[in-house]
Structures are given as structure tokens and as C-alpha cells.
Amino acid sequence: MKDKKRRVIAVSGTPGTGKTTVSKILARKYKLKYLDVKSMIKKYDLSEEFDKERDCEVIDVKKLVLFLIGKISEFKELKKTKFQGMIIDSHLSHNIAPHMVDLCIITKCSLPVLKKRLEKRGYSETKVRENLDAEIFDTCKVEAMEKGHKIKVLWTDKEEHESLRDIISD
């Protein structure tokens, strides 16, 4: 990062596209506080219910966004911290208002790679199809654009992470 301003970066994308890998690499490289939204949903009981058919938590997005705004505000109010910014890892992070986030990274990957990743996680055929459709329709990117975020797209098909080198330097 070029300046000393504490930055907030949202990493979003279809499940299985590499958000967590990218977020953790960037957190280490740039001394960012890593916010694992999935664990916070469990820890702070932010889900509304469990959808047995889809085998996932149902999240009230407005409630989650208010919670994340609180975490961002707490972080920005800290006088001293070893972190130079915060990175928010969630396929819902693009729902945070753009004035609260300096950059929204959307992770993407090819459909065959995504399908393999989701099947490896043990997702049902229906859940795999839903996530492939979300990737085909670029759901996270379109929603982030509609909100007005500054967006960078990062393809994660390969294990090489050279493209991370300058992702947040401008």
C-alpha cells in the first residue's frame, strides 16, 4: 500500500472462487486485519435459520452489513494498531456501502475449476449448479457495480498469485 491511510478491502465472489486464499495472502502481505465473516456469523449468531435443502445458513444481509459496519468503525477508531487496514472475506461483503470500503475485489475462476472445487467440498449437485449459475451471471460483480464499488477482478484458476502483486497498490 502506498500511503499510511488505513484501507478497508472487501473480497467477494461466488463460493469456491478463492476469496479466502486471496484474503489471507493480502492480509499477510499488507499487514491487514483479516475478518472471516463466516466464522463471525457463527460466533455472533447472525444467521436467521439453516436451510437443510441447500445445506447452508440463511443470512439477513442487512443485519450482517450493520454488524460489519460496526466492525469497520471500531477498527478505524483505534488509535494504535499493527494493522494497516482491514480485509473482509465474504461472498456478501460487496453489500457494504461503497463509502465504507476502499476497494472491492471480486474473485472469479473458470467454470470447470469452480465445479471441481465445489464438488471437492461435498456440495450437492443442486448447490453446485446454483453456484455455477451465480458465476455465469457474474452475480457478485454485478451487485458490487450496482452499489457503486471501486472493483478489481481477480482470476484464481491457477495457484500462481503474481496478479496479487499490485492489486491494492493504486
Q: Where are the alpha helices (DSSP H) in 57-162?
A: 61-77, 111-120, 125-136, 139-147
Q: Is 50 strand, coil or helix? A: strand
Q: Structural domains in the chain?
A: 7-155 (3.40.50.300)
Q: What is residue 6's predicted lDDT score, i.e. its pLDDT?
A: 87
The residues pairing with 56 across neighbouring beta strands, listed in sequence order, are 51
Q: What is residue 1's predicted lDDT score, i.e. its pLDDT?
A: 46
Contact 149, 93 (CB under 8 A): no
- Per-residue pLDDT 10s for the chain (170 aa) are 444 678 999 999 999 999 999 999 999 999 999 999 999 999 999 999 999 988 899 999 999 999 999 999 999 999 899 999 999 999 999 999 999 999 999 999 999 999 999 999 999 999 999 999 999 999 999 999 999 999 999 999 875 555 665 565 54
Please provide residue 160's backbone torsions phi and psi, each rounded to the nearest 5 degrees: -75, 135
> Rounded to the nearest 10 degrees, what angle do helices 125-136 and 139-147 cross at?
50
